[in-house]
Amino acid sequence: MRAVIQRVTQASCTVDDQVSGEISGGLMVLLGIEDSDQQEDIEWLAAKIVNLRIFGDEQGLMNKSLTDIGGDILLVSQFTLYAATKKGNRPGFTRAARPDKAIPLYESMISQLDMLLGKPVQTGIFGADMKISLLNDGPVTILIDTKNKE
């Protein structure tokens, strides 16, 4: 499982001119799900996301987590995080999980994040053509892959 995590002052996801999710501050998370991902990947990654200390404290140091500041999450599924680009110019996506595997894991990630945050996570719509708008704060962008936990 891969996540691109961006600290944002605002973010939104629109599908067919309708806003499916938006936040005024917190984390924009793009989530890629691989065929080999399991529930333990979700639990580890969700805990990592909500506890990342990437928000400024009183001295301006990155010492506060999402839960410390009461921030929100906009979570969007993005299979292209598993693009294979080594050969040729057309990316391949054979490592990305198919919808029958990815959708339940995506929904489980939403539930896990809801529980850890104590409030609903905003989301995109799985498989839809989404338009994402965000204002990256910092900029701060973190990449996490559950296959590299150490």
Q: Which of 9, 67, 80, 141 is an active site residue?
A: 80
Residue 68 φ/ψ, nearest 5 degrees = -65, -35
pTM, entire model: 0.94
Q: Is 80 a catalytic residue?
A: yes
How far apart CA 135 and CA 115 sit, in angstroms, is: 26
Q: Please, what is the average pLDDT of the chain?
A: 96
Across the chain, where does the E strand assignment appear? 2-15, 18-23, 26-32, 55-56, 62-64, 72-77, 122-123, 131-145
Q: Does residue 150 have a pLDDT over 80? A: no
119: nearest Cα among 83, 69, 82, 79: 69
- 56 assigned to some structural domain: yes
Alpha-carbon Rg for the chain in angstroms: 15
Full domain range(s) for residue 124: 2-145
pLDDT value at residue 136: 97
- 87 assigned to some structural domain: yes
How far apart CA 45 and CA 43 sit, in angstroms, is: 6
106, two tokens: 């995506």
Domain count, the chain: 1
Q: How large a percentage of the chain has pLDDT more than 90?
A: 90
What lies within 8 Å, CB to CB, of 34 at 6+ separation is 1, 2, 82, 95, 96, 97, 147
79: nearest Cα among 106, 111, 52: 106
Helices then strands (H, E): number in the chain?
A: 3, 8
Tens-digit pLDDT profile for residues 75-134: 999 999 999 898 889 998 988 999 999 999 999 999 999 999 999 999 999 999 999 999
CATH of the domain at 108: 3.50.80.10
- 12 assigned to some structural domain: yes
The amino acid present at 34, given as its one-letter code, is E
The amino acid present at 76, given as its one-letter code, is V
- 150 assigned to some structural domain: no
